[in-house]
Amino acid sequence: MNIILGIDTSCDDTAASVVENGRKIISNIVSNQIEIHKKYGGIVPELASRKHIEMIWPVVDEALKTASSKLESISAIAVCHGPGLIGSLLVGCSFAKALCYSKGIPLIAVNHLEGHIFSSFLEKPRPSFPFIALIVSGGHTCLYRIDNFGKYKELGRTRDDAVGEAYDKIGKLLGLGYPGGPVIEKLSQKGNPRSIDFPRAYLPDSLDFSFSGIKTAVLNYINSQSIKRNTPAIHSGFQTSNSTLISNICASFQEAVIDVLVKKTEWAIKKEGIKKVVVTGGVAANNELRKRMKNLSDKHEVEIFIPSPFLCTDNAAMIASAGYLHYKSKNFAELSLNPQAYLPL
Ligand code: KG4
Ligand code: ZN
């Protein structure tokens, strides 16, 4: 039996997880920093690193205790070494290296995107190779063709903002707090998704994405509405007295970005001739996206694999899942491992 301790501190979540044989989650602890960052409307990197330093040992300790595991029973430690915020990554990597050194345990370096992809191996049914992976998160929006473990081909990526970033920025524009994704999803349920025709950047002949245009379109729309009704500030008048308008903006924005995500996935399926798709990353926790992907699956007889929401958002079980595959290939990292903010898959 191989037991991997996964650690992820790539962004604003301090996460540790114990996973057995790369499949069975024994413990999965995530400590988020929403309370710290929400007043700024986004993550403040320096504050994130400091909080990771404070939380890393309690979170790892809790993961081990919940799993009734001792460090001595851990086969290897898998740590996310990028991409991400460099100060945040440094905390997880330094901590993992120190533990490995002191206990003589092998160290495994896992790319955060690889972690998101292999979160789909933690639940049944599992995808078999080859499959298409759509990663939609706060830092990434990309499509990959996955032929095997370690054999990845990028099909497309965002040319500007990630889709989660667009959710967060629009949440901030509307004064809805951070992160924007979950609250925009909630407000969308009360709005009409066809009330405002926001632009969809389909970028013909490309599997790339672009979400900066819709962000500007939403901003212009907000400004035009406030001018017409002579409201002095978006944040004050807008939020309280115009709940239908806010819900309509949220629903129409969400409809536009999901239209693009679904269409691009459809193109990737056709282009690659692959009928299995993994959708993962924080935005894949969105119920409307999950529903629309399910419709796509019915339309094309494609198998769609979307992990449970707690495995879509950042977690360390996904790092342990990918780490296990490295472990089986004896692909260990040196203790001189350095994290990298920019780290292609
Ligand atoms: O994967 P993740 O936890 O961290 C990154 O690797 O970035 O993704 C976080 C992103 C945030 O932008 C957040 O707003 C978005 O995922 N998100 C959602 C939902 N839950 C989280 N977006 C839309 N709908 C949701 N329910
Ligand atoms: Zn992530």
pLDDT in tens, 144-193: 999 999 999 999 999 999 999 999 999 999 988 889 999 999 999 999 99
Instruction: Kindly state if the Cβ of 182 falls inside 6 Å of ligand 1.
Output: yes
Q: Is the pLDDT of residue 227 over 60?
A: no
For 103-123, what is each residue's pLDDT tens digit? 999 999 999 999 999 999 999
Q: Which residues surround ligand 2, an ion (CB under 5 A)?
A: 137, 314
Helices (H) and strands (E) in the chain, counts: 12, 10
| For the chain, percent of residues with pLDDT exceeding 70 | 95
Answer yes or no: are the C-beta atoms of 135 and 117 closer than 8 Å.
Answer: yes
pLDDT at 38: 86
With tokens 């409201």, the residue in question is: 231
- The finding on whether 11 has its CB within 6 A of some atom of ligand 1 is yes
- Is a pLDDT exceeding 90 seen at residue 16? yes
Q: Which residues contact 41 (CB under 8 A, 6 or more apart)?
A: 168, 171, 172, 177, 178
| Residue 228 pLDDT | 46
Grade residue 39 by pLDDT with cuts at 50, 70 and 90: confident
User: Could you tell me if the CB of 309 is within 6 A of ligand 1?
Assistant: no
Residue 119 is predicted with a pLDDT of 98
Indicate if 126-306 has the same CATH topology as 3-120+311-328.
yes
Q: What is the pLDDT of residue 193?
A: 98
Q: Taking all residues of the chain, what is their mean pLDDT, rounded to a whole number?
A: 94
CA separation, residue 167 to residues 97, 180, 224, 282 (Å):
35, 5, 20, 11
Please determine, for residue 266, whether its predicted confidence score (pLDDT) is greater than 50. Answer: yes
178 lines ligand 1 (CB under 6 A): no
| pLDDT reported for residue 226 | 67
pLDDT at 242: 82
At 278, phi and psi to the nearest 5?
-105, 130
Q: Which CATH class for the 3-120+311-328 domain?
A: alpha beta
Q: Which of 10, 167, 187, 258 to mutate to test the pocket of ligand 1 (most atoms within 8 A of CB)?
A: 167
C-alpha 45 chain-centroid distance: 17
Instruction: Say if residue 234's pLDDT is above 50.
Output: no
The mean per-residue pLDDT over the stretch 18-47 comes to 94
| pLDDT of amino acid 290 | 98
* Percent of the chain at pLDDT exceeding 90: 88
Range of lowest pLDDT (109-118, 246-255, 297-306): 297-306
The matching CATH number, chosen from 3.30.360.10, 1.10.300.10, 3.30.420.40, 3.90.226.10, for 126-306 is: 3.30.420.40
Domain limits of the chain?
A: 3-120+311-328, 126-306
